[in-house]
A and B are shown apart, each in its own frame.
Chain A
Amino acid sequence: MQIGGRVAAAILTGSLAVAAAACGSSGSSGSAQTGTTSSTGGGSTGTSGTAAPSNAPGVTATEIRVGAISTLTGTLASNFESLVPGVEAYFDYVNAKGGINGRKLVMANSLDDGGNPSQFNQLAQTLINQDHVFAVVGVATAFFSPNIFQENGIPTYGYDVTGNWSGAPNLFAAGGSVQCTKCGEPEFNWWVHQVQPRNANVGLLALGFASSANSCKSFNEGLTQAGIKVGFTDFNVPYGGNPAPDVKRMQQAGVNTFISCMDVNSNIAVARAMKQYGYTSVKSLWLNGNDQPTLDQYQDLMQNVWFSIAHVPFSYATTAPSRYPGLVTYINAMKKYQPKWTLDEVALQGWESAALFAQAVKAAGSNLTQANVVAETNKITNFTAGLFAPVNWTEAHDVNLVKPPYCAAWIQVQGDKFVPAFNKDNGAFLCFGPDVVHPTMVTPPAGTPGA
C-alpha cells in the first residue's frame, strides 16, 4: 500500500536528525583516510590495474556488484527517488577513472518498495540471496528494517530517516548512524542569540510524530537549560490541520523566534497564516524545506527563514570553487551523469554513501571481503567526501560516543536563493563545543571542507 503524506511528514521531519547527527563527529585527530576524499569529493578513485581475486559475493575480476532499496514509485517516491541517482553518479564518476582497484562499481539491482511498509525484508532477502550483492549502497525508505543486513554482515550505506541505523557496525547512514538531537542544541541556542540578542521568546512547533516531536522536545530542553524563554510549544500539531490556532497562540504569547520541526507542507501553511495575521517580525528556523523547487514556488513565504544543513552550501560552487573542490566535483559529475538531481539534498546523501563505500573498498585492497570493507569503513576517522563536516566512523554508531565539536552550515533565504549565513571568509561550517548555556564557537576540526 502506498502511504501518503502523513508518513512523508514523519520522514521529512526525521531527516533533520540526520543533519544533527552530521554535526557531531570528527572527534579525535584526523587520519590519512581523509586524504583525497576531502580534497576532491570523490577522491578515493583511481588505481587501475589487475584486481586481486576475491570469493566475496558480487565480486568478479572486473566488477563489484551492489544493490539498493528505495522508494521509487508511489506517493512517497518524491522524498527518496533521487538517492540512487546520487549513488550512480558517483559510480559513473569513479568508473570513468578506472574504478576501484581495477574493478568497476556496478548497481546490479535497484529495488523499489513502492512505499509499501511490509515489503522491506522481502527486498532485502532478494538482494542478499537472489542477487548476491556485495553490499547495499543506497537505502532510502521510510520502512528500513536493519536486522537482516545486520545478521548477514552486509555493508549497508544509505539515508537514515527512521533512526534505527545505530548500534550495528555494518550500517552506515550518510552523516553518521546516530540521530543526535542533543548535538544540535548548542547551535540552535547560538542561533537564537544571533537573531534575537535580547528578549528572545521562542515558539516550537512539531507534528505529532516521534521523529518530529522528539527533535523539538530536545531543543526545548536545551533552550530552557540556557535560560532562553520558550513562550509556546505544540509538539502535537495535527498533520494537514488548521494552522491558525497555533499561530494565534504564538502571537498572543509574544513569540518572536520560531523553530519548526515540521514538514515543508506544514511550514508553508504556518508561514502563510503568520503573514496573513500580520505576524511578520518573527525570526524563523525550519528544519525542512531547504529545497530549490520549494523556494521557487514559495519565495514570498520563505524570506529570511534560516536552515541548518550538514553539507557545504551549493552556492559556494560558484562563489568559492577553489575552496570547495569536493562540491565542484560533485556538481560537475551530477551535471554530467544525473543532471535532473544536481541540487538535490537526497542525491547528495547518495553520493556521500557511495563515496564512503568506495573509500572502504579501496582501503580493503586485495582483501576484498564484506567483513573487511565494514572494518575499513569503521577505521575512517575523518570522512567528508569534500562536502560534509567530518564524520568519525569509530564513534558514529553510538550516540554516547559522539563528541563535540558539533558542526553545521547555515543558510538563509534571500530572494530566490539560499545564501550562506553567519559565515566568515567563506567558511562553510560553524562548529560548537558542548556548552548549551553559553554556546561557544570552536575551530572546525582538521579536514573540514573549506577550513
Chain B
Amino acid sequence: MEQFLGFAIPGVPFGCTYALFAVGLVLTYQATGVFNFAFGAQAFAAAFVYTWATQVHHFPVGAAFVLTVLVMSPAFGLLFDHFLFSRIPAQKNMAKVVTGLSLFVGIPALLPVVFGNQNLLNAPSVFWNIDTVYFTVFGTPINGAELTVMVVTAAALAGLVVLMRFTPLGLQMRGAVESRRLVQLDGVNARAVVAVAWVVSSVLAGLAGVLLAPLFAQVQVTAFTTLMVAAVAAAAWAALRSLPVAAVAAVLVGVLESIFQGYLPTSSWLYSAVLPAFPFIVLAVALLVVPGLRTLETDRDPLASVDPPPPPPLRAIRLPVMDRIIRVTWYAMLAAFIVSMLTWMPRTWENVFNSGLAFSTIFLSVTLITGMAGQLSLAQGTLAGVGAFAAAQLAHHLGLNMLLGGLLGALAAAVVAVVLAVLSLRLAGLGLALMTLAGALFFDNAVFNQSGVSNGAQGLSIRQDWLAPFRFFSADGHQLFVLSMAALVFSVIVVNLVRKGTTGRFLAAMRGSETGAAGIGIDLSRQRITVFALAGVIAGIGGTVFTIQQQVANAEQWNYELSVAFVVIVVTTGVSTVEGAIQGGMGFVISQQLLTYLPGRFGGSSLVFVGFAFGALTYAAHPEGVLEYQKARSTIKWQKRIFERRGPPVGPPAERVPALADG
C-alpha cells in the first residue's frame, strides 16, 4: 500500500496543475459561453512577462505579480471581450472556436516579436519556495510550488463555485451565456456581466501561468499547451459544466499518469506508446461517453432568431457580366502564371509557388470540411502527414514508387479521417473540434514520433529514385510544378464536383439545419463520413506533394499546432470558397518569402502567424473571410463604377444566394 501511495501521491500536485487549467476552462465556458482555446496561451503570456520582469528587469516578485496577474491579464480579458467575443452572436459557435484558436496561435507568436528572444529561466515562486519541502505524505515530499498550486486550486475552486452558484453575479453570468438579450430585458447590464466574467477568467489564467512558471526550468509555451491538453480532457469529463468534477477529473488524470509511470515496465509498448498519449485517450473517451458534450452547443437563446442572416457569398452578389469579366481575368492570370512558371520564373520563386500549390491543396480539405460541411476539423495537418509518411515508408520499405504510394497514402489518410468521423458522429461543433484535436495529438505523441514512422529528428529523406522516371528534384525542369499543379487541379475538381453535386446540396442542408436535413431523409452520418473521407484524400495528396517538395518527411511538419494554424489561415482568406484556400496557401508562402528580405529583428517568420492569427480574429465579423469580404466590397464598388452609367445593375438570381455556413 505504501508503495502504491508512493506513486499515487506525487500525481496529486501534478494533477492540481491540470486542475487549475481545467477549472479555468469550465469557468470561462460557464461564464462566457466560450471554450477558450487560448487559456494556455494566456497563462503562458503571464508566465513569460512575470519571468521577464523578475529575472531580466529585476522587478520585485510582488510588483511583477501585480503587473501580470492583476493588470495585464484582466486587461487581456477586457480586450478579448470588447473587441472579439462580445461581437460574436451567441449561436455562432464556430466563430467563438475560431477566435479562440486564433489567439492560441497568435499570442505565443506575438510575444517574441514584442519582447525579443528570451531564454527565461527560474521564475521565482510567488508564495512558498519551490526548493523547500514543507511536509511529506507517505514519503512523498511536497515542495512550495506544489503546495502553492494545491492551495490555490482548492481556493479558486471554492471561490468560483460560490461565485457561480450562490451569488447574483454568477446567476447573471450563466444567464448572459444563454441569452444576453433575455438578461438585459431583466434590467441587467449583460455586457458588463460578461466583461466581468472575462476579467475573472483571465485573472485565473494569469494566476495559473505565474504559479506554474517555477515548475519549469525554462518558460516555454509547450509546457503550458501540454498542461492544456490534460485540462481539456478533465473539463470534457465535467461536460464543461461542473467546476468540482473538472478539478477532480484533472487530479485523477495526474494520479493515474503517476501510477502508470510508477508500475508499468518502462520497456513495454504500453509505456512507450500509450502513456504519452494518455490525456488524449482520456479526452477521446470523454467525448464518446459523456452525454452532456453532445448537446453543448444546442442553441439556448430564445431571441437568437432576431440576429441578421449571414452575408451572401461573393459569387452571389456579382452581376453575371462581372462574373464573366472576373472569370476571364482569372483564366488569363492562371495562364500567365503557368507560362511564367514554365519559362522565366526565378527558381527561388518557383519553389515558393510550388509550396503554395501544395499548401493550397491541403487547405482545400479545410474548405471541404469547414466551408462546405460547416464542421471544424483540427486534424487536417495530421491527415496530410499520414499521407506523406505512408507514401515515404512504402517507398522506403517496399520500393513502391512514391507517386503510387501517394495514392495509397491518400487512402490511408481517408481511413484515418473516416475513423475520426465515425468516432465523432454524435458530436458537432466544439465536440468535433476537440475529437479531431485529440486525434491530432494522439498521432503527434504516439505515432509520428515513432522512429519506424518518421525516422526520428532527422526525418525520412526522400530519394530521387523513389520518384523515377520523374526528376522532381532536378533544377533543369519544371516537373515538380506540373505535379503540384496537377494535385491542386484534381483537388479543385473534387471540391467543385462535391459542391455542385448531391453531396454538396446535402451538406448545404446540413449546414442550415441538421435536424431539418435529417427530417427530409438525408443520412447525416453518411454525409459526414463521405466529406471526411474526401477531405482525407485531398489532405493526403497535398501532404505527399509537399513532402516531395521538401525532400524530407518530418514529424514536425505535421504537428497539431500546424493543423490549427491551417484552419486559422484558411479562415482568414475565406473558408467557403476554393479561391480562399488557394489564396491562403499562396499568401502563407509568399508572406514568408517576403519576410526573408527583412532582417530577423523585425519579427521574422513569427510575423506570418501573427498576421494570419489576427486576420482570423475578424472571423466573427466576416465569416466569409477577410479577403473574401474585401473582394466583395471591391466588387460592389467596381460594379457601381462600371455599370452605373448603364442604369441600375441587375440583381443576382435568387437561387444563387445560398446561406453561408456557420456552426
What is A's interface to B at a CB cutoff of 8 Å? 1-8, 10-11, 14, 72-75, 77-78, 81, 109-123, 125-126, 128-130, 142-143, 145-148, 151-152, 161-164, 208-211, 214, 232-236, 238-242, 244-246, 248-249, 264-265, 267-269, 272, 275-278, 293-294, 297-298, 300
Q: Which residues from B are CB-within-8-Å of A75?
A: 108, 112, 220-222
Q: Of A3, A209, A242, which is within 8 A of B456 by CB? A: A209
Interface pick from B113-121, B281-289, B329-337, B514-522:
B113-121
Can you name 15 A-B pairs with beta carbons within 8 Å?
Answer: A2-B221, A5-B221, A73-B603, A74-B112, A75-B108, A75-B220, A77-B112, A116-B608, A122-B351, A129-B347, A129-B348, A265-B218, A267-B217, A297-B55, A300-B131
Q: Judging by beta carbons under 8 Å apart, are B117 and A78 in contact?
A: yes
- CA–CA, A2 and B550, complex, Å: 18
- CA–CA, A443 and B559, complex, Å: 48
Q: Which residues from B are CB-within-8-Å of A241?
A: 257, 261
Q: Judging by beta carbons under 8 Å apart, are A74 and B606 in contact?
A: yes
Q: Of B122, B141, B276, which is within 8 A of A277 by CB? A: B141
Q: Which residues from A are CB-within-8-Å of B216?
A: 240, 265, 269
If A3-B559, A239-B226 touch, whether A244 touches B348 (CB-CB below 8 Å) is no
Task: Give chain B interface residues in 214-228, CB to chain A under 8 Å.
Answer: 215-218, 220-223, 225-227
Q: Judging by beta carbons under 8 Å apart, are A5 and B223 in contact?
A: yes
Q: Of A113, A151, A210, A297, which is within 8 A of B457 by CB? A: A210
Q: In this complex, what residue of B is CB-closest to A266?
A: B217
Q: Which residues from B are CB-within-8-Å of A214?
A: 451, 456
Q: Judging by beta carbons under 8 Å apart, are B7 and A245 in contact?
A: yes
If A118-B355, A145-B551 touch, whether A78 touches B257 (CB-CB below 8 Å) is no
Q: Judging by beta carbons under 8 Å apart, are A146 and B261 in contact?
A: no
Q: In this complex, what residue of B is CB-closest to A9?
A: B222
Q: Judging by beta carbons under 8 Å apart, are B223 and A123 in contact?
A: no
Q: Judging by beta carbons under 8 Å apart, are B112 and A234 in contact?
A: no
- CA–CA, A248 and B595, complex, Å: 49
Q: In this complex, what residue of B is CB-closest to A14?
A: B457
Q: Judging by beta carbons under 8 Å apart, are A126 and B593 in contact?
A: yes
Q: Which residues from A are CB-within-8-Å of B55?
A: 297
Q: In this complex, what residue of A is CB-closest to B550?
A: A121
Q: Judging by beta carbons under 8 Å apart, are A2 and B133 in contact?
A: no
Q: In this complex, what residue of A is CB-closest to B554?
A: A117
Q: Which residues from A are CB-within-8-Å of B119?
A: 78, 293
Q: Judging by beta carbons under 8 Å apart, are A123 and B117 in contact?
A: no
Task: Give chain B interface residues in 427-466, CB to chain A under 8 Å.
Answer: 449, 451, 455-459, 461-462
Q: Of B130, B217, B223, B475, which is within 8 A of A264 by CB? A: B217
CB distance from A381 to the nearest CB of B (A): 27
Q: Which residues from B are CB-within-8-Å of A72?
A: 117, 600, 604
Residues 114-145 of B, flagged 1 when their CB comes within 8 A of A and 0 if not, give 00011101100000001101000000110100
Q: In this complex, what residue of B is CB-closest to A265?
A: B217
If A1-B562, A7-B556, A129-B348 touch, whether A119 touches B592 (CB-CB below 8 Å) is yes
For the complex with contacts A109-B596, A238-B261, A241-B261, 7 further pairs of A-B residues with Cβ separation under 8 Å are: A2-B112, A4-B220, A75-B112, A112-B595, A114-B608, A143-B554, A147-B552
Residue of B346, B457, B552, B595 contacting most chain A CB atoms (<10 Å)? B457
- CA–CA, A82 and B109, complex, Å: 20
Residues 589-621 of B, flagged 1 when their CB comes within 8 A of A and 0 if not, give 100110110001001111011000000000000
Task: Give chain B interface residues in 524-556, CB to chain A under 8 Å.
Answer: 546, 549-552, 554, 556
Q: In this complex, what residue of B is CB-closest to A233?
A: B266
Q: Judging by beta carbons under 8 Å apart, are A163 and B457 in contact?
A: yes
If A142-B556, A236-B275, A241-B261 touch, whether A3 touches B220 (CB-CB below 8 Å) is no
CB distance from B6 to the nearest CB of A (A): 6
Q: Of B14, B552, B605, which is within 8 A of A116 by CB? A: B605
For residue B652, CB closer than 8 A to chain A, the reply is no
CB distance from A156 to the nearest CB of B (A): 15
Q: Of B133, B226, B561, B604, which is within 8 A of A276 by CB? A: B133
If A125-B351, A276-B133 touch, whether A74 touches B109 (CB-CB below 8 Å) is yes
Residue of A73, A145, A268 contacting most chain B CB atoms (<10 Å)? A73
Q: Judging by beta carbons under 8 Å apart, are B550 and A145 in contact?
A: yes
Counting from the closest, the 4 A-B pairs by CB-CB distance are A114-B605, A210-B456, A4-B222, A244-B10
Q: Judging by beta carbons under 8 Å apart, are B130 and A238 in contact?
A: no
- CA–CA, A314 and B473, complex, Å: 44
Q: Of A1, A125, A164, A208, which is within 8 A of B347 by CB? A: A125
Q: Judging by beta carbons under 8 Å apart, are B276 and A236 in contact?
A: yes
CB distance from B289 to the nearest CB of A (A): 25
CB distance from A450 to the nearest CB of B (A): 31
- CA–CA, A298 and B123, complex, Å: 11
For residue B271, CB closer than 8 A to chain A, the reply is yes
Residues 90-128 of B, flagged 1 when their CB comes within 8 A of A and 0 if not, give 000000000000000100110011000111011000000
For residue B272, CB closer than 8 A to chain A, the reply is yes
Q: Judging by beta carbons under 8 Å apart, are A115 and B218 in contact?
A: no
- CA–CA, A232 and B346, complex, Å: 56
Q: Judging by beta carbons under 8 Å apart, are A73 and B459 in contact?
A: no
- CA–CA, A390 and B96, complex, Å: 59
Q: Of A73, A111, A126, A148, which is within 8 A of B112 by CB? A: A73
For residue B574, CB closer than 8 A to chain A, the reply is no
Q: Of B122, B589, B609, which is within 8 A of A297 by CB? A: B122
Task: Give chain B interface residues in 185-226, CB to chain A under 8 Å.
Answer: 215-218, 220-223, 225-226
Residues 1-36 of B, flagged 1 when their CB comes within 8 A of A and 0 if not, give 000001100110010000000000000000000000
CB distance from B462 to the nearest CB of A (A): 8
CB distance from A271 to the nearest CB of B (A): 9
Residue of B6, B218, B546, B609 contacting most chain A CB atoms (<10 Å)? B218
Q: Judging by beta carbons under 8 Å apart, are B459 and A164 in contact?
A: yes
Q: Judging by beta carbons under 8 Å apart, are B258 and A78 in contact?
A: no
Q: Judging by beta carbons under 8 Å apart, are A118 and B557 in contact?
A: yes
- CA–CA, A305 and B405, complex, Å: 49
- CA–CA, A115 and B604, complex, Å: 10
Q: Judging by beta carbons under 8 Å apart, are A73 and B456 in contact?
A: no
- CA–CA, A101 and B624, complex, Å: 61
For residue B79, CB closer than 8 A to chain A, the reply is no
For residue B254, CB closer than 8 A to chain A, the reply is yes
- CA–CA, A380 and B310, complex, Å: 69
CB distance from B341 to the nearest CB of A (A): 14
Q: Judging by beta carbons under 8 Å apart, are B600 and A112 in contact?
A: yes
Residue of A151, A210, A275 contacting most chain B CB atoms (<10 Å)? A210
For residue B565, CB closer than 8 A to chain A, the reply is yes
Q: Judging by beta carbons under 8 Å apart, are A209 and B457 in contact?
A: yes
- CA–CA, A278 and B10, complex, Å: 15
If A2-B108, A121-B550, A209-B456 touch, whether A8 touches B271 (CB-CB below 8 Å) is no
Q: Judging by beta carbons under 8 Å apart, are A294 and B113 in contact?
A: no
For residue B399, CB closer than 8 A to chain A, the reply is no
- CA–CA, A445 and B459, complex, Å: 35
